[in-house]
Amino acid sequence: MMAMKKSVGSAVLAAFLIISAAPLLSACDDKGPAEKVGERIDEGLKDTKRAVEDATD
């Protein structure tokens, strides 16, 4: 009887953890302001690199 209660409790805990983690995994699609700024910086560096390469050709 005690083993059955323990396995049911483990199953409930596992289900709770999976359900709790689902929103965290799906939230990765939204870009925050820091990520947007980082992308702009990356684009600016690439543009600068291209301009320097074109000027030295």
DSSP 30: S
Q: How far apart are CA 55 and CA 51, in angstroms?
A: 6
Domain ranges of the chain: 2-56
Tokens of 25: 């995994």
- What's the count of helices (H) and strands (E) in the chain, helices before strands? 2, 0
Measured in whole angstroms, how far is the alpha carbon of residue 23 from the centre of its chain?
A: 11
pTM: 0.47
Please give the pLDDT value at position 19. Answer: 79
Question: pLDDT digit string (tens) for 17-49?
Answer: 777 766 666 656 677 889 899 999 999 999 999
